C-alpha cells in the first residue's frame, strides 16, 4: 500500500504537467487558469494520499485521491488528438461530479450510510459516463463542440457511429442543464439533511460538507447561466470556484485528522483507566471519545441481558444511536457520528476495566435481587401476622366469648336453685374465660394490632400511648395512610423503643415524632431516662434493624449514659 | 323496646338474644351479615341494633360501615357496636359529632349482664355507651399541664363514668353514692376542666368527649 501511494504521488506530477500543456496549447487557456486547474487536482491527490496514509482503514483518503486523478484525467479531453480526446471525454465528467459527491457524502466514515445516498452516487456515476459516451456516438465533426465553441477548437470523436448534430446538441443541453441541475439540487438537499440530523458533535465534523454544498451549488448555477446565456467566464467567479475546490480536500483532510487526534485520546484513556476506579469507565470513555452522551451497558451471561453500572436492567435502544458490542463484556452506545474504528479501539483499550466494571455490575444486580427478596420476606411476614391476628379474632376469641356467655346464662338460670358450690364453679369458669380472652387479645395485638390495619399509624400510636404506663406524648403523626409495610415498620420501631424505655431506662416521659422529611418517613422515640442502651443490645432492636433495612431504611440509637435514649428509624417513602 | 342483633357467630347471637329477652327486650330479628342487618332495620324499625364490627365477607369493617349507613337513613335507630378490640381512635371516628343513640363496647361486656342490658337500654333511648377501656385510653392520654391532674381520684371515676355515657342516676348506682354527692362532683369536674355546664346527658357526653379527644 505504501508503494502504491508513493507511485500515485510521483505519477501525479508528470500527469499534471501534461494536463497543463494541453490546457495552454490546445485549449489556449491562460497560464494562471491552467495552473489553478492543475493545482486543484494536485491538492485532491496530495490531501487524499495523506488521509489514506494516516487513516488506512478509512476510504475517504482513497476517494479523494481518485477525485484528484479524475480531475487530472479531465484535462486530457482538451487534446487535439482524437483518440486521447475520445478516451478522456468519456470519463471527463466524473471528477467534479460523481466522484466529488461520493467522497463528500461518504465523509467522515468512508461509507455511504443511507440507501438514498448510495442510489444517488450510483446514478451520478452512470450519468457522468453515459451522456458523454452517447454524445461521442452522434458526434458530428466539425459542427459538434462542447468547449469554447467560439474559438477554432474542434475535436474529432474516434467513434462517431451516427453523426447527428441535432441529437448531439439535445444531449449536451439535457446533460449540462437538466442532469447537472437536478443532481446539484439533490446533492445540496442530501447535505442539508445530513446537517439537520447531525448531533452537535457531528455537526462540527460536517463543516466540509457545507463547503462542498456551497461550491457545488454555485458551480451548478454558474454552469447553467453560462450554458443558457452563452456568456463568458467571469474572472472573479472563476477564482472563487478554484478557491472553493481547493478548500474541499483540505477541509476533508482536516476533519479526518481531527478524528485522528481523538485517537490520541485512546492512549490517554489507557493511562487514565489505570487510575480511575472502575465506576468511572463510562466517564473515561466519554472523555476519550468526546461524546458526553456515551453509555455503557454490561452483559450478564447468567441473565442474558444488559445492565447499567448499578446493575439495573437496560434495553439497548438502537434509536438514533450507534452500538458497539464488545463480545461477552459490554456494549458501548454512542453518537453515530463517531468513527466506529475509534470506538472499537477505545473499547479494546478499556477492555480490562470494562470487564471489572461488568463484574461489579453483576454483583450489584445480585445484591439488588437479594435486597428485593429480603423486602418480600418481611412483607410476607407482615401479611402472615395480619392473617394470624384475623384468625384469632374471628376464631378463638369469638368462640371463647360465646362460650363464656353460655356459662354466664347457665349460672343465672341455676342461680336460685343450685348449690353455691356449682354457682362458684361457674363464676370462676367465666372469669377464667375472660382472662383467656384478654390474653388472646394481647397476643393478637402483639402479633399485629388490628388498629394499625384499621386506623393507620396515628391511631395505632395513640392506642400504644394509651396502654403505656409512662406518659407518652405523640408530638406528630401522619393524618393519612402510608404503605402498609411502612406503617408496620414504623409502628414496631415505636413499640419496641417504648417497651425498652419503660422496662430499662426509668423514663418518666416519652415523646414520639412520626412524620415525612425529604421523601423519607421518620419515626423518632425519645425518653428522659438513664440512657446507655445499645443498638445491638437486645434481640428486639436487632430484629427491628433488619426490618427497617429490608425496606431500604436505617435505624440508629443515640443513648449516652445520663442523656436519655433516642431511637430514630428512617424509611424511604415517596408518598 | 325492640332490638335486632347482627353477629356472624350464631352461638353469641343466641346468647345475646336470651340476655335481652330475659331483660324484657323483644328481639325482632337476629342476622349474620351486614346486608341482612340493613334489611331488617328497614323492615322491623327496631329501637336499637346490636352490631358486630367485623362481619363476613371481608371480616374487616362491614359492621361499622353498615352502622354508618343506618345512622344516616334511620337516625331514630340506636346503634350499639360490639368489637373484639376497642380503640379510642376508632371510637371517636365512629361517634363523629353525634354520641346520641350510639354505643361502642368490647364484646366481653355482654358477660356483665346487668351493665350490658343497661347500656342497650340507654342507647335505645338515645343515650350513649362508651367502653370503659376507650375512656381510660382517652383519660390516660398525656398532655402538658393537664387540668385532669387536678381532679381527685373520686372525681376522676365520676368523669370516666360520665364519658361512658351514664346519667347521674347511673353513676349513683355504680359508685353507691347519693345523687347529691354525684351532683357536687360533676359541677366540680366541670369547673376544674373549665367546661360550661351541659343542660342534658347528651350534651354532657359530647362536652366530656370533646374535652378528652382534644389534642394536648
Nearest CA distance, B14 vs chain A (angstrom): 9
Q: Considering only residues A42 and B97, tell me which one the structure prediction assigns the higher pLDDT.
A: A42
Residue of A nearest to B9 (CA): A398
Instruction: Give DSSP secondary structure letters for chain B.
Output: -EEEEE-S-HHHHHHHHHHHHHTT-EEEEEESSHHHHHHHHHHH--SEEEEESS-TTTSSSHHHHHHHHHHHH-TTSEEEEEESS--HHHHHHHHTT--TTEEEEEGGGGGSHHHHHHHHHHHHTT-EEE-HHHHHHHHH---TT-GGGGS-HHHHHHHHHHHHT--HHHHHHHHT--HHHHHHHHHHHHHHTT-PPPSSHHHHHHHHHHHHHS--
Count interface pairs A-B at CB distance under 8 A: 98
Residue A82: band (very low, low, confident or very high) from pLDDT cuts 50, 70, 90:
confident
Asked if B84 lies within 8 A of A402 by C-beta distance, the reply is no
Spell out the residues 6+ positions from residue A420 whose beta carbon is closer than 8 angstroms to its own.
Answer: none
Asked if A398 lies within 8 A of B12 by C-beta distance, the reply is yes
**Pairing between strand B102-106 and B78-83?**
parallel
Residue A353 reports pLDDT greater than 50:
yes
Q: Which residues face B17 on adjacent strands?
A: none
Nearest by CB to residue A401, choosing from B12, B22, B142, is: B12
To the nearest 10 degrees (0 to 180), the angle between helices A60-75 and A2-21 is 30
- For B47, other C-beta atoms within 10 Å of its C-beta total 22
User: Cβ distance A252 to A51 under 8 Å?
Assistant: yes
Side-chain half-sphere of A380: how many Cα atoms within 13 Å? 6
Residue of B nearest to A472 (CA): B142
User: Cβ distance A524 to A512 under 8 Å?
Assistant: yes
Cα(A485)–Cα(A34) distance, integer angstroms: 87
Q: Determine contact: B45 vs chain A, CB below 8 A.
A: no
Rounded to an integer, the average pLDDT of A15-28 is 87
Nearest CA distance, B86 vs chain A (angstrom): 9
**Pairing between strand B26-31 and B2-6?**
parallel
Classify burial at A356, counting beta carbons within 10 Å of its beta carbon; exposed 0-12, middle 13-18, buried 19 or more: middle
Rounded to an integer, the average pLDDT of A545-569 is 90
Cβ-defined contacts of B8-13 (< 8 Å, 24+): B8/A394, B8/B32, B8/B33, B8/B52, B8/B55, B8/B56, B9/A398, B9/A399, B9/A402, B9/B52, B11/A399, B11/A402, B11/A403, B11/A405, B11/A406, B12/A398, B12/A401, B12/A402, B12/A405, B12/B107, B12/B110
Cα(B82)–Cα(B105) distance, integer angstroms: 5
Side-chain half-sphere of A283: how many Cα atoms within 13 Å? 8
φ, ψ of residue A224 in degrees (nearest 5): -65, -45
According to the model, what pLDDT value does residue B216 have?
A: 44
**Pairing between strand A554-558 and A520-527?**
unpaired
Nearest by CB to residue A471, choosing from B15, B138, B142, is: B142
Spell out the residues 6+ positions from residue A220 whose beta carbon is closer than 8 angstroms to its own.
Answer: A180, A181, A183, A184, A185
In chain B, what percentage of residues exceed pLDDT 90? 45
Classify burial at A373, counting beta carbons within 10 Å of its beta carbon; exposed 0-12, middle 13-18, buried 19 or more: exposed
On chain A, the residues whose CB falls within 8 A of the CB of B142 are 465, 471-473, 509
- What is the distance of C-alpha A567 from the center of its chain? 44
According to the model, what pLDDT value does residue A153 have?
A: 55
Mean per-residue pLDDT over chain B, rounded: 87
Query: HEC string of A420-446?
Result: HHHHHHHHHHHHHHHHHHHHHHHHHHH
The interface residues of chain B toward chain A in range 78-107, judged by CB-CB distance below 8 A, are 84-85, 87-90, 93, 107
According to the model, what pLDDT value does residue A277 have?
A: 59
Structural domains of chain A in order of their starting residue, each with its CATH number: 2-261 (1.20.1070), 277-371 (no CATH), 455-575 (3.30.565.10)
Asked if B15 lies within 8 A of A390 by C-beta distance, the reply is no
The pLDDT tens digits for B175-196 are 999 989 999 999 888 888 888 7
Asked if B16 lies within 8 A of A405 by C-beta distance, the reply is yes
Cα(A237)–Cα(B132) distance, integer angstroms: 107
- For A292, other C-beta atoms within 10 Å of its C-beta total 11
**Pairing between strand B128-130 and B102-106?**
parallel
Nearest CA distance, B89 vs chain A (angstrom): 5
User: Cβ distance B108 to B78 under 8 Å?
Assistant: no
Asked if A459 lies within 8 A of B87 by C-beta distance, the reply is yes
The three-point CA angle A444-B134-B101 to 5° equals 120
On chain B, the residues whose CB falls within 8 A of the CB of A473 are 142-144, 216
According to the model, what pLDDT value does residue B23 have?
A: 93
In the block, residue with C-alpha cell 478522456: A88
Asked if A390 lies within 8 A of B19 by C-beta distance, the reply is no
Asked if A463 lies within 8 A of B88 by C-beta distance, the reply is yes
Nearest CA distance, B149 vs chain A (angstrom): 12
On chain B, the residues whose CB falls within 8 A of the CB of A509 are 142
Q: Which residues face A524 on adjacent strands?
A: A513, A568
Selection from B155, B156, B94, B89 nearest residue B129 by Cα: B94
Prediction pTM value: 0.60
Cα(A556)–Cα(A358) distance, integer angstroms: 34
Which three-class secondary structure state does DSSP give residue A54?
helix
According to the model, what pLDDT value does residue B15 have?
A: 93
C-alpha distances in Å from residue A241, one per residue of A164, A180, A238, A245, A389: 34, 16, 5, 6, 91
According to the model, what pLDDT value does residue A181 have?
A: 81
Sign of the CA dihedral with A107 first, then A1, A126, and A223 last: positive
According to the model, what pLDDT value does residue B215 have?
A: 54
Residue B66 reports pLDDT greater than 70:
yes
Which of A327-331, B96-100, B156-160 is the least confident region?
B96-100
C-alpha distances in Å from residue A531, one per residue of A371, A474, A566: 33, 20, 9
Spell out the residues 6+ positions from residue A435 whose beta carbon is closer than 8 angstroms to its own.
Answer: none
The three-point CA angle A236-A44-A220 to 5° equals 45
On chain A, the residues whose CB falls within 8 A of the CB of B88 are 462-463, 466
User: Cβ distance B91 to B82 under 8 Å?
Assistant: no
Asked if A398 lies within 8 A of B142 by C-beta distance, the reply is no
In chain B, what percentage of residues exceed pLDDT 70? 96
According to the model, what pLDDT value does residue A201 have?
A: 63
Cα(A105)–Cα(B173) distance, integer angstroms: 106
The pLDDT tens digits for A112-124 are 878 888 999 999 9
Residue A429: band (very low, low, confident or very high) from pLDDT cuts 50, 70, 90:
very high
- What is the distance of C-alpha A375 from the center of its chain? 31
Rounded to an integer, the average pLDDT of A28-43 is 88
Rounded to an integer, the average pLDDT of A294-315 is 84
Asked if A394 lies within 8 A of B54 by C-beta distance, the reply is yes
Residue A490: band (very low, low, confident or very high) from pLDDT cuts 50, 70, 90:
very high
Residue A330 parent element (H or E): strand A330-334
Cα(A157)–Cα(A169) distance, integer angstroms: 15
Q: Which of A436, A454, A481 to mutate to test the interface with B (most CBs of B within 10 A)?
A: A454
According to the model, what pLDDT value does residue A505 have?
A: 87
According to the model, what pLDDT value does residue A106 have?
A: 86
Cα(B212)–Cα(B205) distance, integer angstroms: 10
Selection from B94, B61, B60, B62 nearest residue B79 by Cα: B94
Spell out the residues 6+ positions from residue B138 whose beta carbon is closer than 8 angstroms to its own.
Answer: A466, B88, B163, B209, B212, B213
Residue of A nearest to B16 (CA): A405
Residue B79: band (very low, low, confident or very high) from pLDDT cuts 50, 70, 90:
very high
Residue of A nearest to B135 (CA): A466
Cα(A158)–Cα(A166) distance, integer angstroms: 19
Q: Tell me how far apart the terminal alpha carbons of chain B are, to the nearest angstrom.
A: 41
Classify burial at A14, counting beta carbons within 10 Å of its beta carbon; exposed 0-12, middle 13-18, buried 19 or more: exposed
Which three-class secondary structure state does DSSP give residue A321?
coil
**Pairing between strand A510-517 and A295-300?**
unpaired
Residue A337: band (very low, low, confident or very high) from pLDDT cuts 50, 70, 90:
confident
On chain B, the residues whose CB falls within 8 A of the CB of A393 are 54, 59, 84-85
User: Cβ distance B103 to B135 under 8 Å?
Assistant: no
ipTM of the complex: 0.89
C-alpha distances in Å from residue A540, one per residue of A87, A492, A544, A545, B49: 98, 10, 6, 9, 44
Sign of the CA dihedral with A432 first, then A433, A438, and A439 last: positive
The CA R_g of chain B, rounded to the nearest whole Å, is 17
Q: Determine contact: B59 vs chain A, CB below 8 A.
A: yes
According to the model, what pLDDT value does residue A223 have?
A: 65
Asked if B85 lies within 8 A of A445 by C-beta distance, the reply is yes
Asked if A462 lies within 8 A of B88 by C-beta distance, the reply is yes
Mean per-residue pLDDT over chain A, rounded: 83
Asked if A458 lies within 8 A of B89 by C-beta distance, the reply is yes
Q: Determine contact: B54 vs chain A, CB below 8 A.
A: yes
Q: Which of A386, A388, A391, A401 to mutate to test the interface with B (most CBs of B within 10 A)?
A: A401
On chain A, the residues whose CB falls within 8 A of the CB of B87 are 450-451, 454-455, 459, 462-463
Q: Which residues face A572 on adjacent strands?
A: A520
Q: Determine contact: B111 vs chain A, CB below 8 A.
A: yes
According to the model, what pLDDT value does residue A202 have?
A: 67
Q: Cis check for the bond before A108: say yes or no (omega within 30 of 0).
A: yes
Nearest CA distance, A548 vs chain B (angstrom): 26
User: Cβ distance B101 to B130 under 8 Å?
Assistant: no
Amino acid at each position: 500500500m505504501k508503494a502504491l501511494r508513493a507511485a500515485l504521488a510521483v505519477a501525479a506530477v508528470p500527469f499534471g504537467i501534461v494536463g497543463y500543456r494541453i490546457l495552454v496549447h490546445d485549449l489556449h487557456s491562460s497560464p494562471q487558469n491552467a495552473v489553478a486547474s492543475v493545482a486543484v487536482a494536485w491538492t485532491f491527490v496530495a490531501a487524499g494520499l495523506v488521509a489514506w496514509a494516516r487513516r488506512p482503514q478509512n476510504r475517504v483518503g482513497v476517494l479523494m485521491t481518485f477525485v484528484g486523478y479524475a480531475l487530472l484525467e479531465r484535462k486530457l479531453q482538451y487534446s487535439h488528438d482524437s483518440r486521447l480526446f475520445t478516451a478522456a471525454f468519456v470519463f471527463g465528467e466524473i471528477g467534479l461530479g460523481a466522484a466529488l459527491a461520493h467522497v463528500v457524502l461518504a465523509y467522515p466514515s468512508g461509507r455511504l450510510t443511507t440507501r438514498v445516498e448510495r442510489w444517488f452516487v450510483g446514478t451520478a456515476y452512470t450519468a457522468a459516463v453515459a451522456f458523454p459516451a452517447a454524445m461521442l456516438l452522434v458526434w458530428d465533426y466539425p459542427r459538434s463542440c462542447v468547449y469554447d465553441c467560439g474559438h477554432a477548437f474542434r475535436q474529432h470523436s474516434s467513434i462517431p457511429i451516427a453523426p447527428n448534430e441535432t441529437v448531439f446538441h439535445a444531449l449536451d443541453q439535457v446533460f449540462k442543464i437538466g442532469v447537472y441541475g437536478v443532481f446539484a439540487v439533490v446533492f445540496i438537499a442530501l447535505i442539508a439533511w445530513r446537517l439537520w440530523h447531525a448531533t452537535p458533535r457531528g455537526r462540527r465534523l460536517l463543516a466540509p460538507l457545507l463547503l462542498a454544498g456551497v461550491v457545488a451549488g454555485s458551480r451548478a448555477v454558474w454552469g447553467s447561466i453560462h450554458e443558457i446565456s452563452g456568456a463568458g467566464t467571469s474572472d472573479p467567479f472563476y477564482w472563487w470556484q478554484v478557491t472553493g475546490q481547493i478548500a474541499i480536500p483540505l477541509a476533508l483532510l482536516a476533519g479526518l485528522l481531527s478524528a485522528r487526534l481523538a485517537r490520541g485520546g485512546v492512549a490517554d484513556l489507557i493511562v487514565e483507566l489505570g487510575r480511575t476506579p472502575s465506576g468511572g469507565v463510562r466517564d473515561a470513555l466519554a472523555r476519550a471519545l468526546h461524546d458526553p452522551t456515551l453509555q455503557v451497558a454490561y452483559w450478564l451471561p447468567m441473565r442474558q441481558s444488559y445492565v447499567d453500572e448499578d446493575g439495573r436492567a437496560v434495553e439497548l435502544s438502537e434509536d438514533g444511536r450507534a452500538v458497539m458490542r464488545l463480545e461477552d463484556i459490554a456494549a458501548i452506545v454512542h453518537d453515530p457520528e463517531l468513527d466506529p474504528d475509534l470506538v472499537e479501539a477505545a473499547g479494546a483499550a478499556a477492555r480490562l476495566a470494562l470487564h471489572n466494571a461488568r463484574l461489579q455490575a453483576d454483583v450489584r444486580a445480585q445484591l439488588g435481587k437479594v435486597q428485593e427478596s429480603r423486602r418480600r420476606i418481611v412483607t410476607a411476614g407482615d401479611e402472615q401476622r395480619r392473617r394470624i391476628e384475623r384468625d384469632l379474632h374471628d376464631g378463638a376469641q369469638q368462640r371463647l366469648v360465646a362460650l363464656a356467655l353460655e356459662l354466664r346464662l347457665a349460672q343465672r338460670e341455676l342461680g336460685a336453685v343450685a348449690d353455691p358450690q356449682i354457682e362458684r364453679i361457674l363464676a370462676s369458669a367465666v372469669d377464667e374465660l375472660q382472662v383467656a380472652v384478654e390474653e388472646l387479645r394481647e397476643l393478637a395485638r402483639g402479633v399485629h394490632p388490628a388498629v394499625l390495619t384499621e386506623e393507620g399509624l396515628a391511631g395505632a400510636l395513640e392506642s400504644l400511648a394509651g396502654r403505656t404506663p409512662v406518659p407518652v406524648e405523640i408530638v406528630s403523626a401522619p393524618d393519612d395512610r402510608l404503605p402498609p409495610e411502612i406503617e408496620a415498620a414504623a409502628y414496631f420501631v415505636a413499640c419496641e423503643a417504648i417497651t425498652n424505655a419503660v422496662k430499662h431506662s426509668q423514663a418518666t416521659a416519652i415523646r414520639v415524632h412520626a412524620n415525612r422529611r425529604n421523601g423519607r418517613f421518620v419515626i423518632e422515640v425519645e425518653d428522659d431516662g438513664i440512657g446507655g442502651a445499645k443498638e445491638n443490645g437486645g434481640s428486639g432492636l436487632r430484629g427491628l434493624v433488619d426490618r427497617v433495612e429490608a425496606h431500604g431504611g436505617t435505624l440508629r440509637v443515640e443513648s449516652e449514659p445520663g442523656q436519655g435514649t433516642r431511637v430514630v428509624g428512617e424509611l424511604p417513602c415517596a408518598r | 323496646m325492640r332490638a335486632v342483633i347482627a353477629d356472624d357467630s350464631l352461638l353469641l347471637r343466641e346468647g345475646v338474644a336470651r340476655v335481652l329477652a330475659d331483660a324484657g327486650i323483644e328481639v325482632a330479628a337476629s342476622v349474620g351479615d351486614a346486608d341482612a342487618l340493613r334489611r331488617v332495620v328497614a323492615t322491623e324499625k327496631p329501637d336499637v341494633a346490636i352490631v358486630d364490627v367485623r362481619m363476613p365477607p371481608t371480616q374487616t369493617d362491614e359492621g361499622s360501615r353498615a352502622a354508618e349507613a343506618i345512622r344516616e337513613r334511620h337516625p331514630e335507630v340506636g346503634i350499639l357496636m360490639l368489637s373484639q378490640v376497642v380503640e379510642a381512635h376508632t371510637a371517636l371516628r365512629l361517634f363523629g359529632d353525634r354520641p346520641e343513640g350510639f354505643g361502642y363496647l368490647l364484646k366481653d361486656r355482654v358477660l356483665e349482664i346487668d351493665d350490658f342490658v343497661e347500656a342497650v337500654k340507654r342507647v335505645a333511648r338515645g343515650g350513649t355507651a362508651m367502653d370503659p377501656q376507650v375512656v381510660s385510653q382517652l383519660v390516660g392520654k398525656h398532655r402538658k399541664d393537664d387540668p385532669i391532674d387536678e381532679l381527685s381520684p373520686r372525681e376522676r371515676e365520676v368523669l370516666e363514668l360520665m364519658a361512658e355515657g351514664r346519667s347521674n342516676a347511673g353513676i349513683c348506682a355504680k359508685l353507691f353514692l347519693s345523687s347529691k354527692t354525684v351532683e357536687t362532683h360533676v359541677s366540680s369536674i366541670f369547673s376544674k376542666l373549665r367546661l360550661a355546664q351541659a343542660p342534658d346527658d347528651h350534651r354532657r357526653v359530647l362536652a366530656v368527649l370533646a374535652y378528652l379527644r382534644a389534642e394536648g
